[in-house]
Amino acid sequence: MCGIVGYIGEKNAVEIIMSGLHRLEYRGYDSAGVAVIHNGAMACVKSLGKLVALDAKLEENTLAGRIGIGHTRWATHGAPSERNSHPHFDGPMEIAVVHNGIIENFQELREQLKSEGAEFRSDTDTETIAHLVRKYYTGDLFAAVKRALADVEGAYAIGVIAQDHPDLLVAARHGSPLIVGLGAGEAFIASDVPAIMKYTKDVLYVEDGHVCAITRDGCRVEDLHGNPVAVTPSHVDWDEAAAEKEGYPHFMLKEIHQQPDVIRNTLRGRVEEGSDAVSFPDMNIAEEELEACQKIVIVACGTAWHAGMVGKYLIERFAQVDVELDLSSEYRYRDPAVPPNTIMIPVSQSGETADTLEAIRVAKRKGARVAAIVNVVGSSVARESHGVIYQQAGPEIGVASTKAYTSQCTALALFTIWLAQIRAQMTKDEAQGMIAQLRELPDKMQWILDHQEDIVRCANDPKYRDAQSALYLGRSYNFPSALEGALKLKEISYIHAEGYAAGEMKHGPIALVTEQLPVVCVAVQGDTYEKMVSNIQEIRARNGTVLSIATVGDDRIRAHSDDVLYVPACPEPFSPILVALPVQLLAYYIAANRGCDVDQPRNLAKSVTVE
Ligand code: M6R
């Protein structure tokens, strides 16, 4: 998704903007640009492709200024090209705009503006905003932006500067993420905190419908009607190093290795040492509501949906509540039945996923209470939900979600223990036992990270590394592990991969089995182990290549498998949290061996803020 960075202060705006844009590269983009005001004149440089191309152009074409805006574009309207890259301008090129989101009525606005004499230079929806601001501009940029936005339908986060106003940066938000950073004698705008954390940790999360007049001395906020809005900045705890790779070749690998600490963090503050009591201070759903709850609906996308599936299995088994799991993009359009006493649990790392936000709105309109599991504090999902369980996983930069997944599964496990006790489905002793097992997971994860040799060896083995396609099978709690393993492999290595419930194998996918098809079988100890072994034997009988993921000490499975990756013993309901590591690492090393851009896979964006 697009990334925005803006600056006003006494330093070199271009340097700060480019450094911020580099920090937002994880969001995915296809072109970039920067505009500044210098000596009373607007200047701009744009480039197609990665930021290194823009860096090179900037070296030739030195831009200077103390105020500016920059952008990385992920194409929605108009092909990736230099002319479609941001910033976009009004007719005389005196007003510059960067935008993240989609203007839904842009065709209508474009026709209207053209009929009034505007000449467009791009195919983008964004350019309409620049012409609209010009249309309403009578010397007051802040007023013109507010008036222009009143005509706009859709989602936006914008930054606007004007040649006549070298001391003013205007920003606004409706449906796309935007923050304002406040420093001493300087201020910033950005799509996300890592872009500016090098300069300030005092951050204002801009709310939908708010417009900001930003100067070197601070930020004034009004709604679109000009009513003043009181705002309080937050202090961000993440340190700068948290957003860096810390010596790993990729963010993804760093984030995989962070998982033992991440799980400790997710548990932190929720369970006391030696206690059976779970508490979620921000959840904001009363125990009586949980007691009365008839149905839980979990909505999410991608990896978060797989975590949601682990949650469904846990909640149904231990709390005995009916759980409906849906993809947010399906839920929002299918006019779902929402009976009284329904609780929705949206799951989202970024908290900005457009479909998940809309699913929340649908459920709220129909009377559901919404308690979200979210990583990014202050994100849209967190703010639009009645309550929230923060994952406490720290920033996830790699496009492929890793630590967010295991932390979502852990948060759902904790929620299950809490809910099961409230609904008298679990005794204090049982709860204490399960919490103790959760607490053991970080050390077990560390064991996997300390014993990666077999994973590295398999990822180097041509039968896996050079495969055209792969199948992942799992049952029960590890059906989501199979889905997640396949998603990880396909998204970063571009090997086609399918995840299946192993019980479905004979209903279709077995037709694919040949020597050339690696089948990753999750066969950890538990209720479905013997069934998995039968599946494995059926694959081997057809000359399939089997890579099993099994429990340490299980030597029997070696006889049935070409290779085995081991995870420490753990109760089956929590095993997906461990199995996630070998499937993530296998995908990572295969992708790295194939020379793929692991952190920014082609066509993918970290945060899917448009449909
Ligand atoms: O930010 P979210 O958790 O809402 O994102 C959901 C998906 O877009 C995300 O998990 C995506 O599938 C990742 N690329 C998976 O690695």
Q: Where are the beta strands (DSSP E) in 475-531?
A: 496-501, 518-523
Strand partners, 564: 548
Read off the tokens for 610.
């448009």
400 touches ligand 1 (CB under 6 Å): yes
- Is there a common fold for 3-244 and 451-593? no
User: Domain 3-244: what homologous superfamily?
Assistant: Aminohydrolase, N-terminal nucleophile (Ntn) domain (3.60.20.10)
- Give me the pLDDT at residue 246, please: 64
Q: How far is the CA of 606 from the centre of ligand 1 (A)?
A: 7
- Give me the pLDDT at residue 241, please: 58
Residues 77-108: tens digit of each pLDDT: 777 899 999 999 999 999 999 999 888 888 99
End-to-end CA distance of the chain: 11
Domain ranges of the chain: 3-244, 254-445, 451-593
Q: Which fold has domain 254-445?
A: Rossmann fold (3.40.50)
What is the pTM for the complete model shown? 0.78
Nearest to 561 by CA among 535, 588, 589: 535
Side chain identity at 155, as an amino acid letter? A
Q: Give dist(CA 442, CA 580) in Å, integer.
A: 13
Strand partners, 371: 387
- Give me the pLDDT at residue 154, please: 85
In which residue ranges of the chain is pLDDT below 70?
A: 1, 26-28, 238-246, 274
Helices 575-593 and 479-493 pack at an angle, to 10 degrees, of 20
- Give me the pLDDT at residue 244, please: 62
Q: What is the CA radius of gyration of the chain?
A: 25
Catalytic amino acids?
Answer: 2, 606
In the sheet where 179-183 sits, what is the strand order?
A: 41-48, 31-38, 67-73, 3-8, 186-190, 179-183, 202-205, 234-235
Task: Give the nearest ligand 1 atom to 606 CA.
Answer: 14
349 touches ligand 1 (CB under 6 Å): yes
Ligand 1 atom 10, closest CA? 303
Read off the tokens for 576.
């997906």
Asked whether the CA dihedral 590, 594, 599, 603 is positive or negative, the reply is: negative
492 touches ligand 1 (CB under 6 Å): no
Read off the tokens for 129.
């905003």
- Give me the pLDDT at residue 376, please: 83
Contact indicator for 565, 548 with CB cutoff of 8 Å: yes
- Give me the pLDDT at residue 268, please: 83
Residue 442: CB atoms within 10 Å: 21
Residue 530 buriedness (CB in 10 A; 0-12 / 13-18 / 19+): exposed
379 touches ligand 1 (CB under 6 Å): no
- Give me the pLDDT at residue 565, please: 98
Contact indicator for 402, 255 with CB cutoff of 8 Å: yes
- Give me the pLDDT at residue 14, please: 97
Q: Give dist(CA 589, CA 250) in Å, integer.
A: 11
Pocket test for ligand 1, best of 1, 74, 303 (most atoms within 8 A of CB): 303
May I ask the CATH architecture of the domain 451-593?
A: 3-Layer(aba) Sandwich (3.40)
